[in-house]
Copies of this chain bind each other. A is one copy, B any other.
């Protein structure tokens, strides 16, 4: 599925917000991917990027009425994955209880996060945790294109499909891309210069961490 050029290959292109939306629209409308299927693909890839075996706890501050998200929530609940009813404001409690924070507020909600409750308080807490933060696609509170101004500083970034322009501002230690499933024509049309995915990997770390 991946294109193959050798050592001199171009770095992947970083997408504008409009391009990211155009790709998702094309996958859903033209390629007939389903939203549930994409979330399954991305979720699986993120789990691969985060760790080989982990026991998550979920903090889901604002439940969506969308049946799609309700169904994914049911899956987690029935699998006995614990949900936190609130995020401790005492940062030390978080540092002591967990090994990492996976910041997985996707899409538009992430953008609207800054300044709005309960997101503003959560972001204020996350800015001070000392355990690593793994952000999915667009770190919470960041602008898709401009990135962060005093927001959280993730240690690991997992770009879904392709990096968005905000990823240029990422200063953490590992930047993964989870875009192996993208059809070749989409890679070409949006000039993605996707990284090479070795073996059967669905995520790959970009070569030169931006730091």
Chain A interface residues (CB < 8 Å from chain B): 1, 30-34, 36-37, 39-41, 44, 47-48, 52-53, 70-72, 74-75, 78-80, 183-185, 199-200, 202
Quick one: copies of this chain in the complex? 2
Q: In the complex, given contacts A32-B70, A32-B78, what are 15 additional A-B residue pairs having Cβ atoms less than 8 angstroms apart?
A: A32-B74, A32-B75, A34-B36, A37-B37, A40-B40, A41-B44, A44-B44, A44-B202, A47-B200, A48-B200, A52-B200, A75-B183, A78-B183, A78-B185, A80-B185
Q: How far is the CB of A77 from chain B (nearest CB, A)?
A: 9
| 27 pairs, CB–CB < 8 Å, chain A vs chain B | A30-B78, A31-B74, A31-B79, A32-B71, A32-B75, A32-B78, A33-B71, A33-B75, A34-B36, A34-B71, A37-B37, A37-B40, A40-B41, A41-B44, A44-B44, A44-B202, A47-B200, A48-B200, A52-B199, A52-B200, A53-B200, A75-B183, A78-B183, A78-B185, A79-B183, A79-B185, A80-B184
Q: What's the Cα separation between A39 and B34 when bound, in Å?
A: 11
